[in-house]
Amino acid sequence: MNLAKRIIPFLSVVVMSCNSGNHINPDSGQLDGENDGDADTSSSCEPCMPQCEGKVCGDDGCGWVCGTCSGDRPCVSHHCGAIDGDSCINMNCGNDYVSGYYCGACPDDWSCSMYSRSCTPDGGGCDGIPPGGMCINGSLVTCREDNVYTSFCDFKECVDSSGNEEAHCLEVPCLPSCFGRICGDDGCGGSCGICGVGKSCDSDLGICLPGEPGCGRFKDNDVCAGHVRIVCKEDEIEVSPCLPQGKICMTDSEGRNPSCCQVQPGIECSGDVPEWGHCEEDHLYYCDNAQLKVVHCRLLGHGDCIRDELMSYGCVIPVY
């Protein structure tokens, strides 16, 4: 089931520490001009110009933030927001008093139990339930031995009975991703590619590395493999995954000097970015108008990057 709270705009919240002239590094808490030692200094990375006009919080487009919100308020669309619980966990009617979310109304001649927040027939037993079961507000309701059974479908995806088909919860498909990977598993049993002779796939990083000790072909050729920076030092390979940093791997105009760089406006989406987005730790990567975007979910009220809908990933606040 969807154990997540969605985030909705709420623009009247007082914002703290929101000076459009200051850009705050979310990791160090430093203001702009205070280098924390983790900035991109390589010529492979284009200078990034913060975009904070009209924004009071959230990402400035360069991996820092335009400001923060008071208390536990999340940042939504660069404004401080309020949490609307898309919870209704194990509920299909009435109000979820924890989040204030309305879970839905019951069918005619049914009532919402004040204890379970589930719909039950006014006539008792299984009165009104078709032989093939039925859907009520994203839950599957069936009858067994004259007792009502309610199953809460993942992402509230329930399909009503039709013809000879019984009502059922929609099967949740696996969403593969090869973003930043050139070999290994795509997360759903498929392949992102295979390595050539003399190389082996690092299954965690999704990149091909020499099968023997030493740098192999990387000895005089530092590169970006997928979005992993590979350099050779003293005949030993050093790898730096860029995606967990909210960055991508880029080289200079000659294809050398690989660096982990901020995702800036105008960078085109590559074909390996899945349409449902990609989570890398607490960073969400997605395409918007054919441009690559990345959101640091922690900037949205310490949110997580998880699967939030049947066919998409997003930044949400989990309900425990």
DSSP labels for 193-238? ----TTEEEETTTTEEEESSSS-GGGTT--EEETTEEEEEETTEEE
- Cα separation, 98 vs 111, in Å, equals 21
In this structure, are residues 185 and 174 in contact, taking their beta carbons and an 8 Å threshold? no
Strands 79-84 and 4-9: antiparallel
First to last CA, the chain: 13
Residue 170 DSSP code: P
Angstrom distance (rounded) from CA 162 to CA 132: 8
Strand pairing category for 259-262 and 247-250: antiparallel
Query: Stretch 297-320: mean pLDDT, rounded?
Result: 76
C-alpha–C-alpha distance, residues 169 and 171, integer Å: 6
- Give the best-scoring range by mean pLDDT among 3-7, 10-14, 226-230, 312-316: 226-230
| Digit-coded pLDDT (tens) for 236-253 | 999 999 999 999 999 988
Q: Determine the pLDDT at residue 108.
A: 95
User: What's the confidence (pLDDT) of residue 58?
Assistant: 75
Predicted pLDDT at 48? 77
User: Can you read off the two tokens belonging to residue 245?
Assistant: 């940093």
Question: Is 234 exposed, middle or buried (CB count within 10 Å of its CB: 0-12, 13-18, 19+)?
Answer: exposed
Q: Tell me, what's the pLDDT at 286?
A: 93
Residue 317: which pLDDT band, with cuts at 50, 70 and 90? low
**Averaged pLDDT of the chain:** 80
Does residue 86 surpass a pLDDT of 80?
no
List the one residue out of 266, 296, 292, 264 whose CA is nearest residue 279.
Answer: 296
Burial 112-135 (b: 16+ CB within 10 A, else e): beeeebbbbbeeeebebbeeebbb
Q: What pLDDT shows up at residue 115?
A: 87
Q: For residue 61, what pLDDT band results from cuts at 50, 70 and 90?
A: confident
What pTM was computed for the model? 0.74
Q: Is 204 left (phi over 0), alpha (psi -120 to 50) or beta?
A: alpha
Residue 102: the pLDDT is 86
Task: Please give the backbone phi and psi of residue 218, each rounded to the nearest 5 degrees, phi first.
Answer: -85, 0
Q: List, for residues 163-186, the tens digit of each pLDDT value.
A: 889 999 999 999 999 999 999 999
CB–CB of 202/226 below 8 Å? no
Q: Which residue has the tokens 């702009």?
A: 32
Over 50: is that where the pLDDT of 28 sits? no
Q: Which of 72, 97, 75, 74 is nearest to 87 (CA)?
A: 97
